[in-house]
């Protein structure tokens, strides 16, 4: 099977079969070359049902989780989105094709630089990248219609991320609660408070803290 066929199979077997039905998300996952975001030696595993190492102890997330998160953001294409923990840049590339503009933050230069190069190669021209601690968000570009975090935070989201959410905006973030690690969605209400939903058990690398981070 070639890569396009592997992608089609990945979407059918791992994503659609498990209930993700957002047609725009399924389509970008069929089109985006995930194998270019991993080490060439791992390219043959890129469409498997698991995360993979991307260097510096970090991982590219499992395709199903990526699809689930994108669907849970309920994107219509008009959004300005903040991504924290761009890592390989794979999710960034998907977002780039799904929304108006992407602001991607990564703390590790060693990951951000090759990710940026690959995004340029794929002509993802609506992406801005910052090498910084994502706990602070991107205040100059706020508010965001959606914020997606690919690393697990303890107990509660970093306050700046909630602050930088537009009214009606969604923040998707893995949190460590009493029962373990779960994906949470926070939606900013017109009154200024947040609706909080616990969605799915998950497993991410750590969101490096404000003090230990940089």
- The residue within the footprint of ligand SAH, chosen from 36, 43, 71, 208 (CB under 6 A), is 208
Q: Quick check: 150 binds ligand SAH (CB under 6 A)? A: yes
Quote the Cα angle for 55-82-146, to 5°: 130
- Which residue blocks in the chain are alpha helix, DSSP H? 3-10, 23-31, 63-72, 90-98, 109-121, 159-163
Tokens of 136: 């602070």
Tokens of 79: 């959004």
- The residue within the footprint of ligand SAH, chosen from 32, 96, 135, 164 (CB under 6 A), is 135
Q: Which stretch binds ligand SAH (CB under 6 A): 4-12, 19-27, 116-124, 129-137?
A: 129-137
How is residue 13 annotated by DSSP? I
Shortest approach of ligand SAH to residue 27 CB, angstroms? Answer: 19
Ranges assigned E (strand) in 6-79: 52-55, 58-60
Strand partners, 35: none
- The residue within the footprint of ligand SAH, chosen from 15, 70, 124, 151 (CB under 6 A), is 151
Residue 56: Cβ within 10 Å count: 11
End-to-end CA distance of the chain: 43
Is the CB of residue 136 less than 8 Å from the CB of residue 161?
no
Q: Quick check: 205 binds ligand SAH (CB under 6 A)? A: yes
Shortest approach of ligand SAH to residue 85 CB, angstroms? Answer: 3
Helix or strand (DSSP H, E) at 195: strand 194-201
* Number of residues located near ligand SAH, criterion CB under 6 A: 25
Binders of ligand SAH in range 57-76 (CB under 6 A)? 58-61
Task: Report the catalytic residues.
Answer: 61
Q: Quick check: 134 binds ligand SAH (CB under 6 A)? A: yes
Closest-by-Cβ residue to ligand SAH is 87
Shortest approach of ligand SAH to residue 204 CB, angstroms? Answer: 7
Binders of ligand SAH in range 86-115 (CB under 6 A)? 87-88, 90-91, 105-108, 111
Binding site for ligand SAH (CB under 6 A): 54, 58-61, 84-85, 87-88, 90-91, 105-108, 111, 133-135, 150-151, 205, 207-208, 213
């Amino acid at each position: 099977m070639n890569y396009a066929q592997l992608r089609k199979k990945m979407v059918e077997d791992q994503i659609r079969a498990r209930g993700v039905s957002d047609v725009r998300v399924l389509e970008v996952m069929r089109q985006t070359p995930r194998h270019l975001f991993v080490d060439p030696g791992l390219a043959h595993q890129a469409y498997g049902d698991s995360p993979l190492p991307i260097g510096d102890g970090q991982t590219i997330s499992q395709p199903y989780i990526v699809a689930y998160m994108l669907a849970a953001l309920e994107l219509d294409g008009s959004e300005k989105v903040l991504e924290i923990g761009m890592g390989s840049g794979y999710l960034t590339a998907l977002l780039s094709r799904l929304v108006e503009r992407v602001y991607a933050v990564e703390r590790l230069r060693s990951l951000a630089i090759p990710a940026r190069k690959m995004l340029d190669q794929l002509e993802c021209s609506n992406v801005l990248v910052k090498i910084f601690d994502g706990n602070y968000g991107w205040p100059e570009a706020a508010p965001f219609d959606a914020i997606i975090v690919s690393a697990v935070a303890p107990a509660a989201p970093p306050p700046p991320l909630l602050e930088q959410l537009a009214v009606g905006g969604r923040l998707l973030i893995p949190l460590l609660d009493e029962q373990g690690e779960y994906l949470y969605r926070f939606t900013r209400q017109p009154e200024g408070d947040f609706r909080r939903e616990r969605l799915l058990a998950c497993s991410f690398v750590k969101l490096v803290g404000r003090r230990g981070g940089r």
